[in-house]
Amino acid sequence: MVDDVVRTLGFSCMGSRFRRIGQPLQADAQETIEEYGLTIQAGQYPFVAALDGAGPLAIGKLAQAAGITQPGATRTVSQLELGLVDMQAAPYDQRKSISLTRKEKELVDYSKQSVRARISAAVADLFDNLNGPILAQFAAIQDGLAEGALAGRAAKEETT
């Protein structure tokens, strides 16, 4: 068996370790979203949550709230535009204000009660017993993800 080089290199590969944790978490979240019949992508959730919490935002403020670049936010908003967000020119300048449509607000409310709750419970279960040095915690998270998807953890949480 070949050693996992990224694990053995410790702190010098932290970006790769984060990616190894983030990618399966996002894929599992997407699976859960689809189980509930929603069409939004997991990567779009921060944008929807920002608009839900703050109300209409200019693209720069939305990018800041989601923690990404403005071009990335512009791409995401253009993907969300199909009936989920509304763009209006701000009355005081040429910037566009982005807000959720009524349809999306209904989906957000439904999602808070179902999708977010289920994903949060599953991730909490995955992270629940972590302690010790950060590299050991990363290894435990990766091992937990290798054991099964978040959907299985969420189902376990719902039955207990």
- Domain with 53, as residue range(s), is 40-100
On whether both 21 and 45 belong to a single domain, the answer is: no
Q: 60 is written with which tokens? A: 């720069």
Q: Specify the pTM.
A: 0.79
Q: Is 28 part of a structural domain of the chain?
A: yes
Tell me the longest C-alpha to C-alpha distance in the chain.
64
Residue 136: alpha-carbon gap to chain centroid? 24
How many domains is the chain built from?
A: 2
Segment 15-74, tens digit of pLDDT: 999 999 999 999 999 999 999 998 889 999 899 999 999 999 999 999 999 999 999 999
CA distance 81 to 99: 10
Q: Is 109 part of a structural domain of the chain?
A: no
Q: 12 is written with which tokens? A: 């010098």
Residue 106: alpha-carbon gap to chain centroid? 19
